[in-house]
């Protein structure tokens, strides 16, 4: 039975439809493996071959991969959560209660989203320090380091804008304190704060603005910068795996 | 055509380059102008013109409700109404540090901020903590009905008392 | 008479990877392989498989956490009641701790901007790229600079009563002086410390500092941002 299933799968991979979707055929040679990466729009951000040493856990602790993993989990949980969320005052808070008590698996999705967000901040910070201590920021990777710093800031902004959305006491006062920090910016502070909040206080306008930033603007920006980040890893010579020792 | 043909070859090339340059300048310039315009309209769009926020002027009721020597905190409007020896004055209850709501501590006779530990006297002067300014005084007056009104929109530069 | 050749030719044979490699080595240098290319593997399946396993393990851990602990949700937002203490998300608590000591324009604007700019410029300075031990040259001069900088910074922190920054700073400065000590037979730890460049010290200082401030802000700050113990139940 299993054998025939495998055969059928192999047959499926030989069909015209399969080949029209994946371009390359499936086979046992390195050429096929190379094509699987090179012919895929997402995978081809990576090179076809990578250094064996850069795959060992010791080198990277997989922190970059895991950061991407949390981002994917956040997208996957965030989109269903959006279906039960109204960014308005005080309905947003009622939706939190609904997610907890009335929506099947709502509390699980929210928990997973929340804890993954914390994990992402932690992992991105850890990634930054790990890259620094390995010296992986050195040329030709210096610009990828800068993109990494941009991604760190995007992560913090994403987490911070998401913090307001439950519209509970924790959210309201954290954002009140945080947005008053913006007013401390010389000259333009109060203006910028007014634009960010869409008013003088944290209110319905602020909630809606943070919602749009959190669900559309910042994830899109993060996705674009992640793509550049991965592409630059490839272009700058692959994952840095330390000084090459004399044989 | 014949005039052009008489010109040295280099001159025609120069003319062509400068014409191209002119178009490039025009194109880049118009993109810059469009960006500047978009930024301006973007700013105008993002800054709301109508706000559904509570009125800055609040009615604090009859001044008799504030006996001499008392400090009253109005939670709803975030103001203090203090009846000192020189008269009644109003003060914002919003901490000048980061906008937390301060609270009057009657047992200590001070105003304290829960967020970063700033403390103020009943006149709004900072005793300790990170607050950069004293609590701002607000304009207070008595309307024709005899009610105490407080304007929260603008901090007062100087001290102002309402005598009863 | 023919000119003497200015180079010698050598051939490398690693026929499995490159068919043939000819190296021309100029005179007065010796042919000598400094670096070998690493062994490579196919991204698919080796690399992608490992990445998938890593992400799956992460997802399992996060799902377990999500099943065991509920995300916090307090009462409906109320602009008339400030919770005491009002805390930012944990990753901003280090900053909030600094806000307790410095005016907002310093702690909330200047310091974060400097940190971000500092991070961005790291790979653009030669000193960070060469990453040579701090004490390998100009030792006395650098020791003098370190002493002055530490003293000025310590006085500044003491004036503002920022002991949470002052004490770790002094400890790190002490370990820098320790690594600079010239002893006839330094221990392995000292040798390791002495090989570290300036950027290592600054980054480690930042990491220790950020961790300590975040921990204090998270676990040791209670009502009115007063110092409390984590088990007092007032956080």
Query: Is residue B78 one of the residues assigned to a domain?
Result: yes
Closest-CA distance of chain A to residue B6, Å: 52
Provide the number of structural domains found in chain A.
Answer: 2
The alpha helices in C109-162, defined as continuous H runs, are: 111-121, 126-130, 139-159
Query: Is residue A240 one of the residues assigned to a domain?
Result: no
Best mutation target among B116, B120, B127, B131 (most C Cβ atoms within 10 Å) is B116
The CB density around residue C1, as the number of other CB atoms within 10 Å, is: 3
Determine, for residues B47 and A199 on separate chains, whether the beta-carbon distance falls below 8 Å.
no
Rounded-to-integer distance, Cα C208 and Cα A199, Å = 38
C59 with A65: CB under 8 angstroms? no
Rounded-to-integer distance, Cα B90 and Cα B60, Å = 10
Residue of C nearest to B97 (CA): C104
Tokens 């991204």 belong to: C43
> What does the pLDDT read at residue B7?
52
The CB density around residue B78, as the number of other CB atoms within 10 Å, is: 19
> What does the pLDDT read at residue A246?
46
Same domain, B79 and B143: yes
Same domain, B42 and B73: no
Same domain, A58 and A38: no
Average pLDDT, chain B: 84
Query: Is residue B51 one of the residues assigned to a domain?
Result: no
| Lowest pLDDT segment from B6-10, B23-27, B39-43 | B6-10
Residue of C nearest to A164 (CA): C77
The enclosing domain of B124 has a CATH number of 2.102.10.10
Closest-CA distance of chain B to residue A218, Å: 17
Same domain, A35 and A127: no
> What does the pLDDT read at residue C152?
95
Residue of A nearest to C130 (CA): A138
C210 with C98: CB under 8 angstroms? no
Same domain, A15 and A88: no
Helix, strand, coil shares, percent, chain A, to 5: 70, 0, 25
A36 with A27: CB under 8 angstroms? no
Same domain, B78 and B126: yes
The neighbouring-strand residues paired with B58 are B150
Best mutation target among A183, A188, A193, A195 (most B Cβ atoms within 10 Å) is A195
A199 closest CB neighbour out of B43, B51, B99: B51
Same domain, A90 and A195: yes
Angle formed at CA A103 by CA A116 and CA A113, multiple of 5 degrees? 5
Rounded-to-integer distance, Cα B27 and Cα B19, Å = 12
- Show residues of chain A in contact with C108, CB under 8 Å: 181, 184
Mean pLDDT of A112-131: 97
Same domain, A11 and A80: no
Element (H, E) at C189: helix C188-194
A222 with A70: CB under 8 angstroms? no
- Show residues of chain C in contact with B116, CB under 8 Å: 96, 99-100, 225
Same domain, A80 and A198: yes
Q: What is the pLDDT of residues A146-159, one digit of tens each?
A: 999 999 999 999 99
Query: Is residue A96 one of the residues assigned to a domain?
Result: yes
- Show residues of chain B in contact with C79, CB under 8 Å: 78, 101
> What does the pLDDT read at residue C1?
47
Rounded-to-integer distance, Cα B81 and Cα B76, Å = 13
> Taking Cα atoms as reference points, which of A132, A226, A124 lies closest to residue C203?
A132
Residue A247's pLDDT band, with cuts at 50, 70 and 90, is: very low
Predicted model pTM: 0.87
B111 with B102: CB under 8 angstroms? yes
> What does the pLDDT read at residue A22?
82
Same domain, B88 and B130: yes
Determine, for residues A195 and B52 on separate chains, whether the beta-carbon distance falls below 8 Å.
no
> What does the pLDDT read at residue B108?
87
Closest-CA distance of chain A to residue B48, Å: 6
Residue B1's pLDDT band, with cuts at 50, 70 and 90, is: very low
pLDDT at A8 over 80: yes
User: Is some CB atom of chain C closer than 8 A to the CB atom of A240?
Assistant: no
Same domain, B42 and B72: no
Same domain, A75 and A153: yes
Q: Where are the beta strands (DSSP E) in chain C?
A: 7-14, 18-26, 40-42
Same domain, A104 and A139: yes
Exposed, middle or buried by CB within 10 Å (0-12, 13-18, 19+), for B109?
Answer: exposed
Same domain, A25 and A99: no
- Show residues of chain C in contact with B133, CB under 8 Å: none
Determine, for residues C89 and A160 on separate chains, whether the beta-carbon distance falls below 8 Å.
yes
Best mutation target among B130, B134, B152 (most C Cβ atoms within 10 Å) is B130
Query: Is residue B52 one of the residues assigned to a domain?
Result: no
Q: How many residues does chain C have?
A: 235
Query: Is residue B22 one of the residues assigned to a domain?
Result: yes
Closest-CA distance of chain C to residue B50, Å: 21
Determine, for residues C35 and A185 on separate chains, whether the beta-carbon distance falls below 8 Å.
no
Interface confidence, given as ipTM, is 0.91
Segment-wise mean pLDDT, segments of 10 residues, chain C, 235 residues: 62 60 67 67 90 96 96 90 83 88 86 94 86 84 92 92 91 90 82 88 94 93 84 76
Q: Tokens representing A90? A: 């005080």
Angle at which helices A106-134 and C48-68 pack, to 10 degrees? 130
Query: Is residue A241 one of the residues assigned to a domain?
Result: no
Determine, for residues B130 and C80 on separate chains, whether the beta-carbon distance falls below 8 Å.
no
Same domain, A137 and A80: yes
> Taking Cα atoms as reference points, which of B84, B98, B67 lies closest to residue B137?
B84
Same domain, B81 and B148: yes
Q: Which domain holds residue A38?
A: 2-44
Exposed, middle or buried by CB within 10 Å (0-12, 13-18, 19+), for A68?
Answer: buried
Query: Is residue B160 one of the residues assigned to a domain?
Result: no
Residue of C nearest to B99 (CA): C82
Residue A182's pLDDT band, with cuts at 50, 70 and 90, is: confident
B113 with C224: CB under 8 angstroms? yes
Same domain, A13 and A75: no
Same domain, A35 and A74: no
Rounded-to-integer distance, Cα C95 and Cα A36, Å = 46
Window 165-204 of A, Cβ < 8 Å to C: 166-174, 176-178, 180-181, 183-186, 201-202
On the CB side of C174, how many CA atoms lie within 13 Å of its CA? 7
> What does the pLDDT read at residue B65?
84
Residue of B nearest to A182 (CA): B98
Provide the number of structural domains found in chain B.
Answer: 2
> What does the pLDDT read at residue B76?
83
Determine, for residues A146 and C59 on separate chains, whether the beta-carbon distance falls below 8 Å.
no
Query: Is residue B162 one of the residues assigned to a domain?
Result: no
Determine, for residues C104 and B97 on separate chains, whether the beta-carbon distance falls below 8 Å.
yes
Same domain, B71 and B108: yes
Query: Is residue B143 one of the residues assigned to a domain?
Result: yes
- Show residues of chain A in contact with C103, CB under 8 Å: 184
Q: Which domain holds residue B8?
A: 2-46
Closest-CA distance of chain C to residue A155, Å: 11
Q: Tokens representing A84? A: 């039960």
- Show residues of chain C in contact with B101, CB under 8 Å: 79-82
Query: Is residue A109 one of the residues assigned to a domain?
Result: yes
């Amino acid at each position: 039975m299993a054998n025939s299933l495998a055969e059928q799968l192999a047959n499926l991979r030989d069909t015209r439809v399969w080949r029209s979707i994946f371009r390359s055929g499936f086979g046992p040679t390195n050429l096929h493996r190379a094509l699987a990466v090179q012919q895929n729009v997402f995978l081809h951000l990576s090179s076809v071959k990578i250094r064996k040493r850069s795959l060992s856990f010791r080198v990277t602790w997989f922190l970059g991969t895991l950061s991407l993993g949390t981002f994917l989990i956040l997208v996957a949980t965030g989109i269903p959560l959006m279906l039960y969320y109204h960014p308005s005052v005080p309905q947003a808070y009622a939706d939190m209660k609904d997610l907890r008590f009335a929506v099947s698996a709502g509390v699980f999705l929210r928990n997973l989203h929340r804890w993954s967000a914390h994990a992402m901040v932690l992992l991105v910070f850890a990634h930054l320090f790990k890259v620094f201590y390995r010296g992986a920021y050195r040329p030709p990777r210096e610009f990828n380091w800068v993109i990494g710093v941009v991604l760190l800031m995007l992560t913090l902004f994403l987490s911070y804008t998401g913090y307001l959305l439950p519209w509970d006491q924790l959210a309201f006062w954290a954002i009140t304190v945080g947005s008053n920090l913006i007013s401390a910016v010389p000259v333009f502070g109060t203006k910028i704060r007014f634009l960010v909040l869409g008013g003088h206080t944290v209110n319905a306008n602020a909630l809606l603005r943070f919602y749009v930033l959190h669900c559309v603007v910042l994830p899109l920006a993060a996705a674009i910068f992640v793509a550049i980040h991965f592409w630059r890893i490839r272009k700058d010579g692959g994952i840095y795996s330390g000084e090459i020792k004399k044989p | 055509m014949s005039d052009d043909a008489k010109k040295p070859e280099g001159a025609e090339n120069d003319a062509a380059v400068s014409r191209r340059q002119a178009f490039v300048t025009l194109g880049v310039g118009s993109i810059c102008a469009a960006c500047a315009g978009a930024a301006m309209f973007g700013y105008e769009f993002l800054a709301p013109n109508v706000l559904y926020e509570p009125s800055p002027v609040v009615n604090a009721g009859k001044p008799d409700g504030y006996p001499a020597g008392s400090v009253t905190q109005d939670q709803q409007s975030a103001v203090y109404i203090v009846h000192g020896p020189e008269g009644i004055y109003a003060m914002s209850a919003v901490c000048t540090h980061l906008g937390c709501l301060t609270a009057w501590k009657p047992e200590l006779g001070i105003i304290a901020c829960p967020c970063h530990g700033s403390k103020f006297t009943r006149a709004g002067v900072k005793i300790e903590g990170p607050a950069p300014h004293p609590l701002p005084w607000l304009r207070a007056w008595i309307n024709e009905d005899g009610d105490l009104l407080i304007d929260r929109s603008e901090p007062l530069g100087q001290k102002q008392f309402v005598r009863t | 008479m023919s000119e003497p050749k200015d180079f010698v030719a050598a051939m490398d044979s690693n026929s499995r990877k490159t068919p043939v490699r000819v190296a021309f080595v100029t005179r007065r240098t010796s042919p000598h392989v400094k670096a070998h290319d690493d062994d490579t593997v196919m991204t698919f399946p080796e690399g992608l498989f490992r990445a998938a396993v890593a992400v799956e393990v992460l997802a399992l851990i996060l799902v377990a956490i999500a099943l065991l602990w509920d995300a916090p949700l307090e009462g409906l937002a109320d602009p008339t009641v400030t919770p005491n203490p009002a805390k930012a998300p944990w990753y901003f608590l280090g900053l909030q701790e600094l806000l307790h000591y410095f005016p907002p324009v310093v702690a909330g604007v200047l310091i974060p901007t400097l940190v971000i700019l500092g991070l961005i410029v790291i790979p653009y300075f030669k000193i960070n790229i060469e990453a040579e031990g701090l004490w390998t040259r100009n030792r006395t001069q650098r020791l003098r600079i370190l002493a002055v900088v530490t003293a000025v910074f310590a006085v500044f922190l003491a004036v503002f009563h920022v002991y949470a920054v002052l004490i770790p700073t002094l400890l790190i400065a002490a370990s820098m002086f320790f690594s600079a000590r010239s002893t006839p037979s330094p221990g392995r730890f000292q040798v390791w410390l002495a090989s570290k460049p300036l950027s290592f010290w600054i980054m480690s200082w930042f990491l220790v500092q950020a961790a300590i401030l975040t921990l204090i802000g998270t676990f040791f700050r209670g009502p009115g941002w007063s110092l409390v113990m984590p088990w007092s139940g007032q956080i």
